[in-house]
Amino acid sequence: MIKFSNVCFAYDKANILENVSFTIEKGEFVAIVGRNGAGKTTLMKLFNGLLKPTSGNVSVSNLDTRLSKTSELARHVGFLFQNPDRQICRNTVKDEIAFGLNCVLDNKSEIEKRCRETIESFGFSGQKDPFSLSRGERQKVALASIIALSPEILVLDEPTTGLDYKECMHIMNIIKELNRSGTTVIMVCHDMELVSDFARRVIVIGDGGILADDMCKKVMLNSAVLARASLAPPQIAELAIRLGDDFGGILTIDEMTDKIESRCLQ
Amino acid sequence: MIEFKDFSFKYKESENFALSGVSLSIQKGDFVGIIGNSGAGKSTFTYALNGIIPHHFEGDFYGEVNVNGLDTVEASPSQLALTVGSVFQDIDGQMVSSVVEDELLFGLENFGVPHDRIESRMVEMLAMVGIEDLRYRNISTLSGGQKQKVAIAAVAALMPDILVLDEPTAELDPQSSLQIFNMLRMLNEKMGITIIVVEQKIMLLSEFSKRLMIINEGRIFLDGTPQEVLKDTGLLRNIGVNCPRVATLAGRLIEKNLYKGDVPVNIGEAEIMVKRIIY
Amino acid sequence: MKGILEYSQGDTVIHRLNPLTKMLIALLLCMSSFLSNNLLAAAAIIALNVIIGHLAGIGKKALSIMATLLKLGAVLFLIQVLLIRTGDKVLDLPLNLYITNTGLKFSLLLVLRLVGATMPLVIMLTVTKMSDLTNVLVQKLHIPYKYAFAFITALRFIPIFEHEMNGIIEAQTARGVEFDTKNPVKKLKLVLPLCVPLLISSVKRIEGSAISAELRGFNVRKKNSGYKKYSFSLLDYSAVLVTVLVLIFSASIV
Q: A98 vs chain C: nearest CA distance in angstroms?
A: 12
Q: What is the DSSP letter of A128?
A: S
The CATH number for B64's domain is: 3.40.50.300
CB count within 10 Å of CB B251 equals 22
* Tens digit of each residue's pLDDT (9 = 90 or more) over B122-138: 999 999 888 999 999 98
Is residue C163 a contact partner of residue C41, using CB atoms and an 8 Å limit?
Answer: no
Q: A239 vs chain B: nearest CA distance in angstroms?
A: 6
Residues C1 and C126 in one domain: yes
* Complex ipTM value: 0.86
Residues B99 and B151 in one domain: yes
* Tens digit of each residue's pLDDT (9 = 90 or more) over A143-186: 999 999 889 999 999 888 888 888 899 899 999 999 999 999 99
Is residue C135 a contact partner of residue C228, using CB atoms and an 8 Å limit?
Answer: yes
Cβ-Cβ contacts under 8 Å, A70 against chain C: 173-174, 179-180
Is residue A33 a contact partner of residue A227, using CB atoms and an 8 Å limit?
Answer: no
Is residue B149 a contact partner of residue B179, using CB atoms and an 8 Å limit?
Answer: yes
Q: What is the pLDDT of residue C14?
A: 87
Is residue C80 a contact partner of residue C110, using CB atoms and an 8 Å limit?
Answer: yes
Containing structural domain, residue C163: 143-222
DSSP secondary structure letters along chain B: -EEEEEEEEEETT-SS-SEEEEEEEE-TT-EEEEE--TTSSHHHHHHHHHTHHHHTS-EEEEEEEEETTEETTTS-HHHHHTTEEEE-S-TTTT---SBHHHHHHHHHHHTT--HHHHHHHHHHHHHHTT-GGGTT-BGGGS-HHHHHHHHHHHHHTT--SEEEEESTTTTS-HHHHHHHHHHHHHHHHHS--EEEEE-S-HHHHHHH-SEEEEEETTEEEEEE-HHHHTS-HHHHHHHT----HHHHHHHHHHHTTS--SPPP-SHHHHHHHHHHHH-
Q: What is the pLDDT of residue C1?
A: 42
A71 touching B (Cβ < 8 Å): no
* Cross-strand pairs, C98: C92
Q: What is the pLDDT of residue C3?
A: 60
CB count within 10 Å of CB B228 equals 14
Euclidean distance between CA atoms C91 and C244, whole angstroms: 40
Is residue A47 a contact partner of residue A58, using CB atoms and an 8 Å limit?
Answer: yes
Distances A217 to A26, A34, A170, A195, A220 between C-alpha atoms, Å = 20, 16, 23, 10, 5
For chain A, the C-alpha Rg in angstroms (whole number) is 20
Is residue A199 a contact partner of residue A216, using CB atoms and an 8 Å limit?
Answer: yes
Distances C34 to A64, B151, C69, C217, C244 between C-alpha atoms, Å = 51, 43, 16, 42, 14
Q: B110 vs chain C: nearest CA distance in angstroms?
A: 4
What dihedral angle (degrees, nearest 10) is formed by the CA atoms of C31, C33, C35, C41?
140
CB count within 10 Å of CB B79 equals 15
The closest of C15, C57, C31 to C239, measured between CA atoms, is C15
The closest of A213, A149, A151 to A179, measured between CA atoms, is A151
B176-198 burial string, b = 16+ CB within 10 Å, else e?
Answer: bbbbbbebbeebbeeeebbbbbb
Count of domains in chain C?
2
Nearest by CB to residue A131, choosing from C172, C193, C200, is: C200
- Sign of the CA dihedral with C172 first, then C175, C180, and C184 last: negative
Q: Contact B37/A35, CB-based, under 8 Å? A: no
Chain A: residue nearest C178 by CA? Answer: A71
The closest of C125, C5, C9, C4 to C57, measured between CA atoms, is C9
* pTM of the complete model: 0.87
The closest of B81, B84, B128 to B106, measured between CA atoms, is B81
In chain A, where are the structural domains located? 2-226, 234-266
DSSP secondary structure letters along C27-53: HHHHHHHHH--SHHHHHHHHHHHHHHH
B251 touching A (Cβ < 8 Å): no
Strands of B219-224's sheet in order across = B84-87, B162-166, B194-198, B31-35, B211-216, B219-224
Is residue B212 a contact partner of residue B229, using CB atoms and an 8 Å limit?
Answer: yes
* Contact residues for A64 (Cβ-Cβ < 8 A; gap 6+): A57, A58
Nearest by CB to residue A71, choosing from C168, C178, C193, is: C178
What dihedral angle (degrees, nearest 10) is formed by the CA atoms of A255, A257, A259, A262?
-140
Cβ-Cβ contacts under 8 Å, B176 against chain A: 36
* Contact residues for A217 (Cβ-Cβ < 8 A; gap 6+): A196, A249, A251
Select from B99, B131, B159 the last residue of a domain: B159
SS3 A206: strand
Cβ-Cβ contacts under 8 Å, C228 against chain B: 105
> Within a 13 Å sphere around the CA of B9, how many CA atoms are in the beta-carbon half?
29
Cα C191 → chain centroid: 23
Distances B176 to A35, A175, B14, B186 between C-alpha atoms, Å = 9, 27, 36, 15
B106 touching C (Cβ < 8 Å): yes
* Tens digit of each residue's pLDDT (9 = 90 or more) over B143-155: 889 999 999 999 9
Q: What is the pLDDT of residue A133?
A: 84
Euclidean distance between CA atoms C23 and C232, whole angstroms: 13
Please state the length of chain B.
Answer: 279
Residues C59 and C92 in one domain: yes
For chain C, the C-alpha Rg in angstroms (whole number) is 22
Residues B20 and B145 in one domain: no
Euclidean distance between CA atoms C36 and C105, whole angstroms: 13
* Contact residues for B30 (Cβ-Cβ < 8 A; gap 6+): B194, B195, B210, B211
Residue type for position C106: F
Containing structural domain, residue B66: 1-83+161-236
Residues B100 and B148 in one domain: yes
Is residue A227 a contact partner of residue B195, using CB atoms and an 8 Å limit?
Answer: no
Q: Contact B271/A239, CB-based, under 8 Å? A: yes
Cβ-Cβ contacts under 8 Å, C196 against chain A: 89-91
User: Hey, of A89, A97, A154, A157, which one would you mutate to test binding to chain C, going by the most C CBs within 10 A of its CB?
Assistant: A89
> Per-10-residue mean pLDDT for chain A, 266 residues long?
93 84 96 88 91 94 91 89 88 90 86 90 86 86 91 92 86 93 94 93 93 94 90 91 89 93 87
- Look at phi and psi of residue B39 and say left if phi exceeds 0, alpha if psi is from -120 to 50, else beta: left
Q: B247 vs chain C: nearest CA distance in angstroms?
A: 36
Residues C194 and C102 in one domain: no
Residues B48 and B118 in one domain: no
Select from B136, B159, B182 the last residue of a domain: B159
C180 touching A (Cβ < 8 Å): yes
For chain B, the C-alpha Rg in angstroms (whole number) is 20
Count of domains in chain B?
3
Nearest by CB to residue B78, choosing from C129, C220, C227, is: C220
Furthest-apart CA atoms within chain B: distance in Å:
65
Q: A166 vs chain B: nearest CA distance in angstroms?
A: 5
The CATH number of domain A2-226 is 3.40.50.300 = yes
* Tens digit of each residue's pLDDT (9 = 90 or more) over A22-48: 999 999 999 999 988 888 889 999 999
> Within a 13 Å sphere around the CA of B270, how many CA atoms are in the beta-carbon half?
29
Is residue B164 a contact partner of residue B65, using CB atoms and an 8 Å limit?
Answer: no
Chain A: residue nearest B169 by CA? Answer: A162
Residues C40 and C120 in one domain: yes
Alpha helices (H) along C56-180:
59-83, 101-126, 130-139, 145-174
Cβ-Cβ contacts under 8 Å, C176 against chain A: 71-72, 74-75, 100, 103-104, 149
* Cross-strand pairs, B223: B213
Q: Contact C174/A48, CB-based, under 8 Å? A: yes
Q: Contact B136/C212, CB-based, under 8 Å? A: no
> Per-10-residue mean pLDDT for chain C, 254 residues long?
68 88 91 88 89 88 89 88 80 79 88 91 88 85 87 82 88 84 78 80 85 89 82 88 88 78
Nearest by CB to residue A50, choosing from C173, C197, C201, is: C173
What tens-digit pLDDT sequence spans chain B (279 residues)? 999 999 999 999 888 999 999 999 999 999 999 999 988 999 999 999 999 989 988 899 999 999 999 999 999 888 899 899 999 888 888 888 888 999 999 999 999 999 999 999 999 999 988 899 999 998 888 988 999 999 999 999 999 999 999 999 988 888 899 999 999 999 999 999 999 999 999 999 999 999 999 999 999 999 999 999 998 888 898 888 989 999 999 999 998 999 988 899 999 999 999 999 988
SS3 A215: strand
